[in-house]
Amino acid sequence: MAEQSLQGHGQFMKKGKVFPSKSIVSGSTPVNDYFVEKDGQRFAGIHLLIDFWEAKNLTNRITVENALREAAISANATAINLQLNQYSENGGISGILVLAESHISIHTWPERSFAAIDIFMCGVCNPYDCIAVLKKAFEPGNSTLLERRRGLLP
């Protein structure tokens, strides 16, 4: 999809338009990036690590695909490519949705009713907006969430 392809460092194309990033100054050289500003910090993006326990639909390829795509839409992210692999032994699924703004990945262990989900986004996308969509799809009995701010500038 040409409309959603990367167009070089510091800019991307979305629906036919190039969106340059904010400029920051490193020394005296302006740099285009998609760094996030939150709580007085400037960093590359928010990385969420989500564990779902007592989860459902972990072998349903269509549910996994739809959940990843809908999660990206909910965060206002641009999907580029989806790759899912399902294992014959237990039906577990490993997959990644590559985004212009980074990625959403999932690994399921249906024999343990467990899913490990990884969401990393830069720019104006909000990875927290993905959580409700994912919870609706996988109906976890329990979940944990860790946030990591990647690329914190000193």
Shared-domain flag, residues 8 and 54: no
Residue 11: domain span: 2-42
Cut 0.95: pTM above it: no
CATH of the domain at 132: 3.60.90.10
Residue 47 bears catalytic tag: no
Pair (30, 51) in one structural domain: no
Q: Which of 94, 105, 107, 143 is catalytic?
A: 107
* In a domain? residue 101: yes
d(C-alpha 121, C-alpha 132), whole Å: 16
H or E element, residue 73: helix 61-74
pLDDT 10s digits, 101-116: 999 999 999 999 999 9
The torsion of the CA quartet 60, 65, 68, 71, rounded to 10 degrees, works out to -90
The tens digit of pLDDT for each residue in 136-154 reads 999 999 999 999 999 986 6
The question of whether 125 is a catalytic residue gets the answer: no
Active site residue 122: yes
Number of domains forming the structure of the chain: 2
